[in-house]
């Protein structure tokens, strides 16, 4: 592994054009979620949120006074306090409602199945799928539904997983490898497999996913708990401040009514973020589900936002995985066109990704046909074998071959020719650069000719360097994990732009790397799909297992990617950061909101005995009652106005922590101060028209 003394310094990069966000917010969701919001008015639900429980108690108290001594102001304050609680419930209900809609889709796709269970003596018995237990062996054939989560212990089959992943293309699952895991509710399309059940009834992958997206098992994350404690502390402080305000007011000769004190308390405590906190957490999980990622806990989503080190597998994540022809290097008297023509002929019958890429390269750069002509089809194709390590074609007296350098060299020697030193030099140079050389030669009129070398490279995916630069700008260090030799690993690392690499990696090496990073105080994220990845997935702070992988990998990780796309780890980190940014932005906005409410309510309460306070009435509010009622109304309406932002998430831009803080303070801090001044003033223009208040 390469060594670095310091973590890479954040660098400014161009902003990505795309952004992470959830689905479009539909205002009709407010109406459809209203019944759930009304049910949440029960005190048993409200007591879970200390801030909103105080508002709920204030609403009850105001309602009692409104019934006992009704007047327009008291009734209006009581109603808007109830609206404040209702809007907070509505934010949570809308977030949960989106999850319930996704859960209903999953539930419709879940089928009650009948299983063919194998007895110890090898006989079959038909039993309901719900009666299966861990360790049971079941037989599934073409057209049948897999009755439960498990691993294939015998056979190979194509499986339709569209009910889970949404991907219509079938996948291949087989025993004995990293693609042996199957999910209950998916359908076998071909062949016969024997599956060992690995979950209890009601605890399958689909069951857990349904419970997750419905929010039934969502637990508060550590950061969310910490923020709840902070909000509760602020609420207690403001409650004590309001309670001590009455003796001061009595001493000053301006006794305040319980309604006014209640309104003051509700406007002073952080009701906005208290109302939206749960919705923000649910929406973060929802954004993951929309990307076909199942997180077993909200803690994992939050940890993704704090990740400092990203471990990425080279094959399939940073590179395409299949080597592709990237360059034709002629030697001797042969031209590039001569080499292209011979390389294409030798690859027409080669169905491997490498062979197809050679034909595509020759067609793209030299204008040669991508398909065999009728005359070429009449030739005798020579397939690649592990023994010969060559492939080619015999056509009209021409013998054309391509393959490993040593194999082609031996073939040329057998044909009475010899391989020039120039060919050896090119082969050595291509190998030293981390690529794979294929030598192309042919025999024409009995004379062997070596045309040149085809460079096969494990091609880095487009824009990977830009993606890694964005991660670097966020202070995230990227490490490429590969089984390649250090020379090849360094070449890929330099081309892709990763910060570090671990070559010839073993499971023990991965574990050691993760532990070193964690001992330094960094959070680590990685992906994996095999049983040998399970220890590292369990050790990492964010372990994303591929759905196509083994059950051991999925059990070890705290996230499962249903699409089995390793590059999605980068998106998961961005979603986690967006969750943290959204929570921080709305907390800043909520706290900043209170400043304008001070200017609205406090002068109104004491201007009668301290005329000097009227100078603080910079919004020129009509009367003390209209000022207080306007602040209460704004306090309720701002919650409903911020629901779309809480669900969609604050726009995410890769940048440094300092830049994010500055943006947060300018947009949501300053905006949180100015918005209430404008909002309360506009509401007061309407409230002052109400008889008995204006």
Residues belonging to the binding site for Mg(2+) are 529, 533
- Nearest residue to 629 via CA among 643, 637, 239: 637
- Nearest residue to 572 via CA among 333, 377, 300: 300
662 token code pair: 């500055």
Residues forming beta bridges with residue 150, ordered by sequence position: 182, 197
Q: Which class for 383: exposed (0-12), middle (13-18), buried (19 or more C-beta within 10 A)?
A: exposed
Pairing of strands 150-154, 192-197: antiparallel
List residues forming the annotated binding site for ATP.
350, 354, 384-391, 402
Residue where the block lists tokens 């082609």: 408
* 220-224-229-231 Cα dihedral, nearest 10 degrees: -130
Distance CA 348, CA 17 (A): 40
Q: Which of 149, 178, 286, 313 is catalytic?
A: 313
Give the strand order in the sheet containing 171-174: 171-174, 156-160, 187-188
Q: 3-state DSSP call for residue 287? A: helix
b/e 293-307 (16+ beta carbons within 10 angstroms → b) = bbbbbbbbbbbbbbb
List residues forming the annotated binding site.
350, 354, 384-391, 402, 529, 533
Q: Give strand ranges (E) for 30-128.
A: 114-118, 124-128
Asked if 334 contacts 449 with a C-beta cutoff of 8 angstroms, the reply is: yes
Asked if 342 contacts 442 with a C-beta cutoff of 8 angstroms, the reply is: yes
Helix (H), strand (E), coil (C) string for 641-687: HHHHHHHHCCCCCCCCHHHHHHHHHHHHHHHHHHHHHHHHHHHHHHH
Distance CA 532, CA 522 (A): 23
- Is 313 in the active site? yes
b/e 496-505 (16+ beta carbons within 10 angstroms → b) = bbbbbbbbeb
Phi and psi torsions of 508, nearest 5°: -65, -40
Residues labelled as active-site residues: 313
């Amino acid at each position: 592994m390469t060594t670095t003394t310091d973590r890479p310094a954040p660098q400014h990069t161009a902003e990505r054009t795309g952004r992470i966000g959830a689905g479009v917010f539909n205002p009709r969701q407010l109406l459809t979620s209203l019944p759930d919001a009304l049910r949440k008015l029960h005190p048993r639900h409200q007591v879970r949120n200390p801030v909103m429980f105080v508002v709920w108690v204030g609403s009850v108290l105001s309602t009692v006074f409104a019934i006992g001594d009704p007047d327009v102001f008291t009734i209006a304050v009581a109603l808007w306090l109830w609206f404040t609680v209702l809007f907070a419930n509505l934010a949570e209900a809308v977030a949960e409602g989106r999850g319930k809609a996704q859960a209903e889709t999953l539930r419709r796709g879940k089928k009650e199945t009948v299983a063919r269970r194998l007895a110890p003596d090898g006989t079959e018995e038909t039993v309901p799928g719900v009666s299966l237990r861990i360790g049971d062996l079941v037989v599934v054939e073409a057209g049948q539904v897999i009755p439960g989560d498990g691993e294939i212990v015998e056979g190979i089959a194509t499986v339709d997983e569209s009910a889970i992943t949404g991907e219509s293309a079938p996948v291949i699952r087989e025993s004995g490898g990293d693609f042996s895991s199957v999910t209950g509710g998916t359908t076998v399309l071909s062949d016969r497999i024997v599956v060992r059940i690995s979950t209890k009834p009601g605890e399958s992958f689909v069951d857990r996913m349904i419970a997750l997206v419905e929010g039934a098992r969502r637990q508060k994350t550590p950061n969310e708990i910490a923020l709840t404690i902070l909000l509760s502390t602020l609420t207690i402080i403001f409650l004590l401040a309001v309670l001590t305000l009455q003796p001061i007011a009595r001493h000053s000769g301006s006794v305040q009514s319980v309604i006014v004190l209640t309104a003051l308390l509700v406007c002073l405590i952080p009701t906005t973020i208290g109302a939206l906190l749960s919705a923000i957490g649910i929406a973060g999980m929802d954004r993951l589900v929309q990307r076909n990622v199942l997180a077993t806990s909200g803690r994992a989503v939050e940890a993704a936002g704090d990740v400092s080190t990203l471990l990425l597998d080279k094959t399939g994540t940073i590179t395409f995985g299949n080597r592709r022809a990237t360059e034709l290097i002629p030697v001797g008297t042969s031209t590039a066109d001569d080499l292209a023509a011979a390389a294409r002929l030798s690859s027409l019958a080669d169905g491997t990704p490498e062979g197809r890429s050679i034909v595509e390269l020759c067609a793209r750069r030299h204008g040669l046909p991508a398909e065999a002509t009728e005359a070429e089809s009449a030739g005798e194709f020579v397939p690649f074998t592990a023994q010969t390590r060559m492939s080619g074609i015999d056509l009209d007296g021409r013998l054309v071959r391509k393959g490993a350098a040593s194999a082609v060299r031996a073939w040329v020697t057998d044909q009475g020719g010899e391989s020039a030193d120039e060919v050896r030099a090119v082969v050595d140079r291509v190998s030293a650069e981390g690529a794979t050389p294929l030598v192309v030669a042919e025999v024409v009129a009995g004379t062997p000719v070596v045309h040149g070398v085809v460079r096969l490279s494990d091609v880095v995916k487009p824009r990977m360097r830009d993606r890694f630069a964005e991660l670097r700008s966020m202070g995230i260090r990227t490490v490429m994990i590969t089984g390649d030799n250090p020379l090849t690993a360094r070449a890929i690392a330099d081309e892709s732009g990763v910060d570090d690499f671990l070559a010839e990696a073993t499971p023990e090496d991965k574990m050691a790397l993760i532990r070193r990073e964690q001992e330094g105080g960094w959070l680590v994220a990685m992906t994996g799909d095999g049983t040998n990845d399970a220890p590292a997935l369990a050790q990492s702070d964010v372990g994303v297992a591929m759905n196509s992988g083994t059950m051991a990998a999925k059990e070890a990780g705290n996230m499962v990617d249903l699409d089995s796309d390793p590059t999605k780890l980068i998106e998961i980190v961005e979603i986690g950061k967006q969750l943290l940014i959204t929570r921080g932005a709305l907390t800043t906005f909520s706290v900043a909101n209170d400043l304008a409410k001070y200017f609205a309510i406090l002068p109104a309460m004491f201007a009668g005995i301290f005329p000097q306070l009227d100078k603080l009435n910079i919004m020129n509010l009509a009367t003390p009652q209209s000022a207080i009622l306007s602040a209460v109304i704004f306090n309720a309406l701002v919650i409903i106005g911020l629901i779309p932002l809480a669900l969609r998430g604050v726009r995410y831009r890769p940048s440094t922590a300092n830049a994010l803080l500055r943006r947060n303070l300018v947009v949501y801090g300053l905006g949180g101060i100015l918005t209430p001044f404008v909002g309360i003033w506009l509401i007061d223009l309407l409230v002052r028209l109400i008889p008995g208040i204006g």
